Amino acid sequence: MQAVILSGGFGTRMRPLTYTTPKPLLPIMNKPLIQHVIDSLPESVDEVVLASNYKIELLREYFEEYDVKGKTIHVVDEPKPMGTGGAVKNVENYLDDTFFVINADIISSIDLEEYFKFFKSKEAIGAISAWEVDNPEEFGIFELDDMGRILRFEEKPNAWEAFSNTINAGHYILEPEVLDLIPSGEKVSMEREIFPQLIDKGFYGFKFSGHWIDCGRPTSFLEANKTLLKLHEKEHGVNHLIGEKSYVEGDLGDHVSIGMDCTLEECDISNSIILDGVEIDEGCVIEDTIIGYDVTVESGSSLKGCVVADAVIVDGDHTDEKLRGSD
C-alpha cells in the first residue's frame, strides 16, 4: 500500500529557520516533522511518496542516510506549485491501489490502522480524518450523518457561513478512481475542486480523539513539542529531552527539547526547542523560543517568544519578546 505525503511549500511562516532547512526536516523532540508522520503509518504501507519541491535535495539526502525499515521512500519533484490535487496527480504513476494522502505538517494521535479499517467497512471512494475545533473558519469543514458519511463539505468558509465545527484534519484515504477526476498538469485544490465531487460517491469522515496540531507556525511547533513531551513524561517520568553529546548544567524547566552537541550553562529555560550545536552561556533566560542550528547565546541574553536563525551569535544585551510568524 502507498502513502502520499504532501511535503511541498516554502514554509514561510517558519522563517528564518526554513531559509536553510525545509519545514518537513525541522525537528520536534529531536526528530524531523516528516519522520513523525512516516512513523505513524501502518505496517501495511510499504511505499511512501513525498510530493516535494522546496530544498528537495535536502529531503533526498536525509532519506539516503536514514533507513526507514519496511518502507521504500520516493522523493518526487513537483516542478511548480500544483495544489493538493495537482501534487497527488503528479505522483499518479506510483499509485496502484487504495492510498493515503497526508499533510506533512500534522502531529496527531490518529490511529491510521483503525482509520483504514473504518474506510474498508464502508462502500467508500474516499475519506477524511475529522477533528473538532472552536473556530472552524480557517479550515475545510464538513457535516456527517450518523454513519460517518459526509453530507456537505466547504473549504474555509466565512465565520457566519460555518455550518459545522468538524474540520478536515489532513489525512485522506482515496481509491484510485479519484485520480481520474484530477486533470493532469494543472493546479488543482483537492479540497475545493475534488472533494465536493465525492459526496455522492461514498465519502466519509473518521473522527478521532487525543491531540491534533497543524505545525505551520512557530507557536504550533512549540505546542506540538510540549504535547509530545507530556506523553514522554508519562512514559519516562521527565518532561524534557536531551540529545546525544549534549551537556546541561543545572535543572531544565518544563517542556524543553535539546538537540545533539549542545552546551547549556546554568540558565532559566522553559517551553523551548533547541536545535543541534547550540551553546548557551550562564544567566540567560529563554522562554517559548526556537533556537536554530549552531547558535551561540551569550551570557545575560533574554529570549522570550523568539525564533533564532541558524549560526548566529546572540549578544548578552539582547532582549526579544516577539515570536516571528505567530500571526
| 55 a catalytic residue | no
Give SS3 for 13: helix
Question: Nearest-5° angle of CA 12, CA 15, CA 17?
Answer: 130
Per-residue DSSP letters for 129-178? EEEE-S-GGGSEEEEE-TTSBEEEEEES--GGG---SEEEEEEEEE-GGG
The alpha-helical segments, DSSP class H, found in the chain are: 33-39, 56-65, 83-90, 112-120, 195-202, 218-236
Active-site residue among 156, 187, 201, 207?
156
- Rounded CA-CA distance 281/283 in Å is 7
Per-position DSSP letters for 185-209, written without gaps between them? TS---IIIIIHHHHHHHHEEEEE--
Cell numbers 512513523 correspond to 39
CB 209 within 8 A of CB 129: no
Beta bridge partners of residue 302, listed in sequence order: 285, 319
Query: In one letter, which amino acid is 285?
Result: V
- Rounded Cα distance between 199 and 45, Å, is 26
Beta-carbon contacts of 282 under 8 Å, excluding residues fewer than 6 positions away, are 249, 265, 266, 267, 299
Q: Residue 38 to residues 121, 150, 259: CA-CA distances in angstroms?
A: 24, 27, 20
- Which residue numbers are catalytic? 156
